[in-house]
């Protein structure tokens, strides 16, 4: 059988993640109610973190929510705030500059010291 490279090979069924899904679903509900929140997933490679995030990202986007996601890889473990910096690099790609200014301006004093 030949698999087209453009096609996803993710299993459509998420197995054994009911407690984690329930917790993340509660966080999505809080965010939906303007009670912003952050979730950090950590664990060994291959245990399904990315799949879990993909599931919750899909659920949030179906509600028309904006999802920001940062990642931290082994080579960057010594870089302070690596996941935050990764997340902030994605923001300009997701919005136009005129949309970003009012969002980021109130955070400038906090972000400038940590963003290279």
The DSSP result for 34-51, as a single string, is: T----------TTSSHHH
Give the number of domains in the chain. 2
Q: Is the pLDDT of residue 73 over 80?
A: no
Whether residue 1 is contained in a domain is answered as: no
Q: Which domain holds residue 23?
A: 17-67
pLDDT of residue 26: 92
Q: Where are the alpha helices (DSSP H) in 1-116?
A: 18-32, 49-62, 82-94, 97-104, 108-111
Q: Is the pLDDT of residue 66 over 80?
A: no
pLDDT digits (tens, 9 = 90+) for 17-65: 888 889 999 988 998 898 877 778 888 888 888 888 888 888 888 988 8
DSSP summary character for residue 59: H
Q: Is the pLDDT of residue 94 over 70?
A: no
Q: Is the pTM of this model over 0.75?
A: no
Both 52 and 83 in one domain: the answer is no
Of 47, 67, 87, which residue sits at a domain end?
A: 67
Average pLDDT, the chain: 79
Map residue 21 onto helix, strand or coil: helix
pLDDT of residue 10: 62
Phi, psi of 110 (to 5 degrees): -85, -35
With tokens 């902030």, the residue in question is 88
Q: Is the pLDDT of residue 116 over 70?
A: no
């Amino acid at each position: 059988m030949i698999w087209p490279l453009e096609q996803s090979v993710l299993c459509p069924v998420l197995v054994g993640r009911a407690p984690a899904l329930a917790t993340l679903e509660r966080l999505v509900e809080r965010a939906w109610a303007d009670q912003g929140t952050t979730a950090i997933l950590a664990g060994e490679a291959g245990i399904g973190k990315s799949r879990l995030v993909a599931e919750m990202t899909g659920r949030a986007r179906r509600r028309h929510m904006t999802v920001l996601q940062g990642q931290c890889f082994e080579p960057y473990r010594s870089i302070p705030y690596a996941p935050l910096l990764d997340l902030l690099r994605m923001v300009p790609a997701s919005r136009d500059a005129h949309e970003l200014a009012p969002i980021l301006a109130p955070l400038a004093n906090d972000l400038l010291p940590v963003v290279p």
